[in-house]
Amino acid sequence: MAAPPAIATTAIDQVDAKAWTCVDFLSDVHLHSAEAATAAAWKDYLRHSPAQALFILGDLFEVWVGDDVLHHPMGAFEQSCAQALAECARLRPVFFLWGNRDFLIGPAFFALTGVQALRDPCRIDSSAGALLLSHGDALCTEDHEYQAFRAQVRSSAWQSAFLSQSLPDRMAQARAMRAQSQARQQNMVSLPDVNTPACDQALVWHHAHTLIHGHTHRPGWHLLGEGRQRRVLSDWQAEGPQPRTEVLRLLNGQWQRVPLAQR
């Protein structure tokens, strides 16, 4: 049976995090069975993180083609990741908002793992003040081709039609879409980034001063003026010449970028 669309999931639009002295944020782990080292590093992090709450801002998985993968022989990798999340969520609140790769995560995933869904964007009241969380892809407003694609695949009609197909067919289509995306990026002079006025407007609208997002794979810290800022999360890649396995930690009201080796 096909999983219901992710848009049917009830999502939280505001979280009171002021009581937590140690909060971690991460995104763009891109879990995939072919990236064993990254998956192992992520699971080790879940077991040892000192965070009192964990916020995952999208693209946790390289691809998610429906919640029925959690009960299918082809989904052994996804099932092992869901089990690791469930064990983590029994110890601390774990929150998740959808990315551009895993937007089809739906109610069965949240029920199985105990992870709590967040609306994008979501306001967090923290020890460092009012934060606004987003995956970041919706803020790349100048990438008109992608925004048209995003609107299409986030629609109820597209998701229902896609999820009505067999799991092997959905996996094959996901591979094809990913190959098309990679080919498109290779032809770009530079990869799209978030639009600064859009970020500033979102912060003003939600009465927050710090935007935290992923998606762009450009970790950094940017001042926007008038006390507003954005902090960009790192993507994860445990293998290769420059391994990247980092979380952004809010500890006692202070920001830290924590490589996995330091946990």
For residue 76, the one-letter residue type is A
68: which residues sit within 8 A by CB, 6+ positions away?
Answer: 1, 2, 3, 75, 108, 167
- pLDDT tens-place string over residues 137-190: 999 999 999 999 999 999 999 999 999 999 999 999 988 887 777 776 666 656
Distance, in Å, from the CA atom of 263 to the CA atom of 261, rounded to the nearest integer, reads 6
Distance, in Å, from the CA atom of 30 to the CA atom of 63, rounded to the nearest integer, reads 8
Distance, in Å, from the CA atom of 91 to the CA atom of 134, rounded to the nearest integer, reads 24
> So what's the pLDDT on residue 4?
41
- pLDDT tens-place string over residues 108-135: 999 999 999 999 999 999 999 999 999 9
- pLDDT tens-place string over residues 203-258: 999 999 999 999 999 999 999 989 999 999 999 999 888 889 999 999 999 999 99
Distance, in Å, from the CA atom of 223 to the CA atom of 237, rounded to the nearest integer, reads 27
Half-sphere exposure of 151 (CA within 13 A, CB side): 7
186-200 mean pLDDT: 83
Evaluate whether the domain defined by 6-262 bears CATH number 3.30.70.1110: no
Distance, in Å, from the CA atom of 167 to the CA atom of 65, rounded to the nearest integer, reads 7
2-16 mean pLDDT: 71
123: which residues sit within 8 A by CB, 6+ positions away?
Answer: 13, 14, 15, 130, 131, 132, 133, 206, 207, 208
Q: Is 10 helix (H, G, I), strand (E, B) or coil?
A: coil
Distance, in Å, from the CA atom of 252 to the CA atom of 132, rounded to the nearest integer, reads 18
pLDDT at 1 over 90: no
Distance, in Å, from the CA atom of 186 to the CA atom of 245, rounded to the nearest integer, reads 24
Interhelix angle 156-163/167-186, nearest 10 degrees: 120
